[in-house]
Structure formats: C-alpha cells, structure tokens
Amino acid sequence: MNRQEVGLKAEEMLNELADQTRMGDEIWRYIYSDTEKKGKKIIRQWMEALGLLVIEDQIGNLIARKEGKSKETIVIGSHMDTVKDGGKYDGAGGIVIGLLALKELIESDETFDKSIEIIAFTEEEGSRFLSGYLGSKNLVGKITQLELNDTDSDGISLKEAMISNGYDPEKLPKEKRRDVAAYLEVHIEQGPVLETLRHDIGIVESIVGIRAFDITIKGRQDHAGTTPMDIRLDPVYAASKFISETTDYVRRLSKTATFTIGAMSVLPGVSNVIADSTNFSIDLRDRSEEDLVNVTDRIYESLGSLEEQGYAVTIKLLCAEEPVDLDSRLSDFMYDKSQNLGLRTMKMVSGAGHDAQIIAPHIKTGLIFVPSVKGRSHSSDEYTKSYDLGNGVLLLATILKEMLQGEFDV
C-alpha cells in the first residue's frame, strides 16, 4: 500500500465532502439537515463503490457491510455530523480512513472470516440535540426517553424530528447489537499533544467523563435607572458570580477537570433594563468520576442557594457520560502493531467525547488518534496532514488484517 497516495486520497475525499455540505460559508451537518442528507449521499456512493451492502438503521446511521464467513462483526465507526462551522476532519476523517482501510483489504484479496462494517454515525456532536451521541447510542440500544424528549433550538423534539423525517421512534432497539465483536474508531486528536511531542499515533486508554447542563436563572425585570442596587433581583449578576466562583472551585479541585460556559443569553437583552432571566450552558469534563460528582454537587448547591435569595433556577442535565476505560488488551495490541509499523506511538487520555465512549462499556473498543495541526478543532482551521491520514489507514488496515487472521482474538 502506498501510504502517501492513500493519504492524499483521504484528503481529496474529505475536501469533496466538506465542499458539498456547506451551509453558506460554514460546514455544518446536523441530524436530518439538508447538508447531512447530501453528505450521506456522498458517503453512500463511496461505500457502494467498494461493493458493500449499504443500509440505514432506525435513527439514520449509514451502515456498510462486507459479509464474511461468520456473522461475527468488527465495526469501524465514526460520525458524519459536525458542529456549526466545524472542520473537515472531525468525524468524517474516521469514516474515510475506515473506508480506505477496508478498500485495501478487499483489493489484497483478504479472506473475510469475520464480517466488517463501516458505520457513519449521526449526531455525535449534539449540534442540534444537545444530548448527542445519538448514532452510537442506537448501536447499543441506549436511546431513551431523555434523548427522545430533547428539543432543538426551535422546540422540536428528537421524537418529532424522527417522525417528520420518516424514522419510527417505536422501532429503536432496546438492546445492543449482539453480533458486534469489536468496535474500532480512528479520530483526529483535536488537541496539541501528538504534534507537540512529535508522535504519529495516539492509542487512547481512557476518555474523560462529561456533564452538560442547561441553566436558567430568572430574576425580576426592572428599570435600570430607578431600581436601587440593594433591592434588585438581577439574574446576570447572579450568573456571573456563580460562574466565577465555580470556575475557581474547579481550578482548586483538580488539574485535569475543565468547566466551560460556551453559550449564554440574557432576556430581554435591553441595555437599560435589568434582565428578566439569563440562560447558559455548562460543559464539565474530567477523567475522575469522583471529581465530576464533586463539581456537580457544588453546582446544585450554589444554584440552590440562589433560590433562597428569590431567584427561580432551572437546571437541566443534558448529558452525563461517565469516564470510560477502553479495552486494555486491544489497546496494547494496537500499540504494538503501530510500533511495529515504525510509527511513533503513545498512549493517551482523550479530553473530547467520542462515539467510542458510548460503545466501550458494551463492546470491546479501541480508539486511535492521528495528529491535529496546532491542536485546532471545531473550527474551519482544523487540519490533519495527508501524511497522518495515510498513517491512520495503514495502521487500521494492519489491525483489521490481523483480527481477520485471528492474530487478535476478539
């Protein structure tokens, strides 16, 4: 296999997908959007060109299957959706690398004792429905009422969106797929570690846990000029105090935890009016479940104390993913294969959530990172060199071959 050629091919495919699925100037493919539909069409064509049987599942994941002698299946997955104004590589990179690795196996007349599937998952990022990971949750039968009732910014629930797009919420599986023996995902790192330490490949050992909240603090709307400071119920003041105190607390508590307010709005949003309410997001992550619980308790306590002061507080927990350890035997195996190929390889922790973390508690899972230039991601500046994409294809093809030949017993 010519690694350089394959890397360039991957780049070409990612450019095509990005260029065909822009909303205005931005890349944005959220679940059931026109751009996602366009993207699916392109990915389906790539899948069919390999002679694979392509179907869509109950939520809208695209599944391409290479039937083997046994029904036992190795799944290679990654997500096809993006954040708003996202990059070309996040998610889509893993799909393209998976397809090119499988192409390599098919062209080298590999014997398929096991079946292989490439799955393009929908709505991992949660850029329409904040709960996210919908495609991978469906693979393991974990879409619950919580996800179905989640609403987008227009107030449309996932359940309603599914029905209006021709999907039946009643048909969602309640259990994981039993035939999947292993799940492999290749993803861009989305951070600067591999590049900084000059490594080609990261083998992920664990993924941080995430809590996401939607918070509304309602105060009392009053005149900005006539209402004395000591009798105001100003939700913007309450929110900013809560945010700065909780940020300081998280910094003191843990070197690894992150606490981010990425979205915030003030209503009615008029300069000479004390706000009626403020709404903001919380994104909390750490590799320690204990610290996630500590910060979560602190959030409820602090916001609870605002109620005593007369504010009305609504706390919506949108997602609670525990930190996940990936399969250590599989990680060791992948690490060795990568080293044997002469790739500079390190083991690492992922600070971003991935479909792998949803699947790992249920199915033997491995996650491989390729470098991101300057660590940039969730941005149009996102870039991974074709050289690194090529390494991803080479490593994945090597791992799959050895799995098919029984070198690694799944």
Stretch that binds Zn ion, among 91-99, 113-121, 267-275, 340-348 (CB under 5 A): 91-99
Show Cβ contacts of residue 379 under 8 Å, excluding neighbours closer than 6 positions. 85, 86, 87
Shortest reach from residue 88's CB to Zn ion, in Å: 12
Q: Is 381 exposed, middle or buried (0-12, 13-18, 19+ CB in 10 A)?
A: exposed
Shortest reach from residue 102's CB to Zn ion, in Å: 20
Stretch that binds Zn ion, among 38-46, 84-92, 329-337, 360-368 (CB under 5 A): 84-92
* 90 lines the binding site for Zn ion (CB under 5 A): yes
Calculate the CA dihedral of residues 326, 327, 331, 337 and round it to 10 degrees. -140
> Per the structure block, which two tokens stand in for 344?
């500079």
Stretch that binds Zn ion, among 87-95, 139-147, 210-218, 368-376 (CB under 5 A): 87-95
Which DSSP category does 130 fall into? T
Shortest reach from residue 359's CB to Zn ion, in Å: 14
Residue that has been written with the tokens 């690194």 in this structure: 388
* 91 lines the binding site for Zn ion (CB under 5 A): yes
Shortest reach from residue 201's CB to Zn ion, in Å: 17
Q: Looking at beta carbons only, is 9 or 88 nearer to Zn ion?
A: 88
Q: Looking at beta carbons only, is 169 or 366 nearer to Zn ion?
A: 366
* Long-range contacts, stretch 21-27, CB < 8 angstroms, 24+ apart: 26/84, 26/85, 26/86, 26/380, 27/82, 27/85, 27/86, 27/87, 27/88, 27/380
Q: Give the sign of the dihedral formed by CA 397, CA 50, CA 89, CA 184.
A: negative
The Cα–Cα gap between 272 and 228 comes to 14
The Cα–Cα gap between 23 and 33 comes to 10
Q: Looking at beta carbons only, is 119 or 404 nearer to Zn ion?
A: 119
Of 123, 193, 192, 121, the residue nearest 152 (C-alpha)? 123
Stretch that binds Zn ion, among 57-65, 85-93, 293-301, 338-346 (CB under 5 A): 85-93
Q: Looking at beta carbons only, is 129 or 242 nearer to Zn ion?
A: 129
Q: Looking at beta carbons only, is 91 or 219 nearer to Zn ion?
A: 91
The Cα–Cα gap between 60 and 128 comes to 15
Angle between helices 92-107 and 3-20 (to 10 degrees): 140
Residue that has been written with the tokens 């294809």 in this structure: 393
Q: Looking at beta carbons only, is 29 or 103 nearer to Zn ion?
A: 29
> Per the structure block, which two tokens stand in for 323?
């930190």
Shortest reach from residue 352's CB to Zn ion, in Å: 7
User: Is 165:60 a contact under the CB 8 Å cutoff?
Assistant: yes
Q: Looking at beta carbons only, is 246 or 377 nearer to Zn ion?
A: 377
Shortest reach from residue 191's CB to Zn ion, in Å: 12
Q: Looking at beta carbons only, is 235 or 353 nearer to Zn ion?
A: 353
Count the site residues for Zn ion by CB under 5 A: 2
Shortest reach from residue 96's CB to Zn ion, in Å: 13
Stretch that binds Zn ion, among 86-94, 114-122, 247-255, 394-402 (CB under 5 A): 86-94
* 355 lines the binding site for Zn ion (CB under 5 A): no
Stretch that binds Zn ion, among 2-10, 89-97, 229-237, 366-374 (CB under 5 A): 89-97
Omega before 268 within 30 of 0, i.e. cis: yes
Q: Looking at beta carbons only, is 139 or 181 nearer to Zn ion?
A: 139
Q: Looking at beta carbons only, is 377 or 398 nearer to Zn ion?
A: 377
CA 275 to chain centre: 34
Binding mask 15-54 for Zn ion (x = CB under 5 A): ----------------------------------------
Number of neighbours of residue 76 by Cβ within 10 angstroms = 24
Shortest reach from residue 402's CB to Zn ion, in Å: 26
Shortest reach from residue 91's CB to Zn ion, in Å: 4
User: Is 355:121 a contact under the CB 8 Å cutoff?
Assistant: yes
User: Is 220:276 a contact under the CB 8 Å cutoff?
Assistant: yes
Shortest reach from residue 319's CB to Zn ion, in Å: 15
Stretch that binds Zn ion, among 90-98, 274-282, 367-375, 396-404 (CB under 5 A): 90-98
Residues that bind Zn ion (CB under 5 A): 90-91
